[in-house]
Amino acid sequence: MDFDRNSAKNLNSKEANKILIMSGLAFYIISGLFLVIGIISLIGGAEEPSIVLFISAFILAIIGIKNLFLSKEKKEKFLTSKLVSSAIKEEKKKGQSFTKEEIDKIKFEYDPIFHDKIVAQVHKEQDTEYATNVQNAENKVKDLQKQRTNEINRIEEERWQSVGDNNLKYNLTEGKICINETEHLFTSIKGAEVNKEESYRVVTTEVGRSKKHVSLGKAVVGGVLLGPLGAIAGGTMGKTTSNGRSISNSIPTCNHIGVIVDIDGFKSEIILLDNTIDQSTNEYKQCLQNAEEIVSKLHYLATQPVPETFTKVEEEQSVLDIDKQIVMANKELDIAKNNKPTYEIPKRYLNNK
């Protein structure tokens, strides 16, 4: 189908405005329907619903004529699009038949609005695919970097061992100990001893017996005043004497247990207990056992040499394997970023001339 690309420019103002106004015909019809219903509602006394209908009718009418206020470029595109549709209809009236694919090709070639829509759709699809490929490549790198960090943490944790309920940590691979979150070499250990502060608490117990002495005078007075029952009640009243004694026991307690470590002449303490408990409790026995275990281990570690060389955590084979994967993943990411869309239009929209 032949179509004059300048047909929209050749229209006079009256013809152009007629097309622009008629493009909103559907809105005018609905607007008029709302207006009629609003008038009927107002006559029937329904003021509020009628106001809503009037406002809706006004808004629809404005939408119908909005094409009149388009910019020059947009107005020209809109008019061209309408003229292309009209030209296709005229060809059909003349007996020309078109398939959907043929119509799409015609509209893509001559209808600027349809053309822009298809191009935008192609851009959106290919941009989405590009962004997805880049995002997947970035996620792969991030996952590998996280895997590397986890592997390093795992190896470091395996190198560190602990004694005394985790109060002392030592690393045989690197020749280090960790006291109060500070690392020192085995050669810095100059001594270690248990620091214990003992005390006691006193428990006093009363032992003995007591007697009540009945007062005869009070019994007689009670009988005179209240009869036999009064005499009994009166007779129970009297003095109480006690012949007892107090017994005090000392219970051994402990206020503090720690291990004082000499690190190159500076004292540092590992605190295991810092509150008062009885020495008969399991907690005390366990704390004391932990302290003795720490001292014994420190004395042993002080005799061990510090390794001159050892494999750094980052140089362990499992970490190096992940590093290789990260290098490959970064290359894939670069390829994904550089593989930008070419925005190829599907062949069904192109005329093969």
pTM over 0.75: no
Residue 304 has pLDDT above 90, yes or no: yes
Instruction: Return the bridge partners of 191, or none.
Output: 262
Environment class of 231 (CB within 10 Å of its CB; exposed 0-12, middle 13-18, buried 19+):
middle
Strands 266-273 and 160-163: unpaired
- More confidently predicted of 32 and 67: 32
Q: How confident is the model at residue 243 (pLDDT cuts 50, 70, 90)?
A: low
Q: pLDDT band at residue 232, thresholds of 50, 70 and 90?
A: very low
Question: What's the start-to-end Cα distance of the chain, in Å?
Answer: 13
Given a cut of 60, is residue 254 above it in pLDDT? yes
DSSP state at residue 190: E
172 HSE (CA, 13 A, CB side): 6
Q: Which residues, in sequence order, are bridge partners of residue 195?
A: 258
Backbone angles phi, psi at 84, to 5 degrees: -65, -45
Per-residue pLDDT tens over the stretch 211-223: 555 454 444 444 4
- Return the pLDDT at 302: 96
Report d(CA 79, CA 163) in Å as an integer: 86
Percent of the chain with pLDDT over 90: 55
Tell me how far apart the alpha carbons of residues 94 and 323 are, in angstroms, rounded to a whole number.
71
- pLDDT over threshold 80, residue 1: no
State the pLDDT at residue 220: 40
The two tokens of residue 315 are: 């140089």
Q: Quick one: how far is CA 137 from the chain centroid?
A: 22
pLDDT of residue 217: 46
CB-based contacts of 65, cutoff 8 Å, min separation 6: 20, 21, 24
283: amino acid identity, one letter:
E
Q: What percent of the chain has pLDDT over 70?
A: 88
- The pLDDT value recorded for residue 225 is 44
What pLDDT shows up at residue 227? 54
- Asked if 258 and 270 count as a contact pair (C-beta separation under 8 A), the reply is yes
Q: Which residue has the higher pLDDT, 239 or 31?
A: 31
- 91 versus 326: which is more confidently predicted? 326
Distance (Å, rounded) from C-alpha 2 to C-alpha 337?
43
pLDDT in tens, 125-170: 999 999 999 999 999 999 999 999 999 999 999 999 999 999 999 9
Q: Mean pLDDT across the stretch 4-18?
A: 85
Q: Which range has the top average pLDDT, 9-23, 241-255, 316-330, 336-350?
A: 316-330
Q: For residue 339, what pLDDT is reported?
A: 94
Q: Which two tokens stand for residue 111?
A: 């209808």
Residue 131 forms beta bridges with which residues? none
pLDDT of the residue at 242: 53
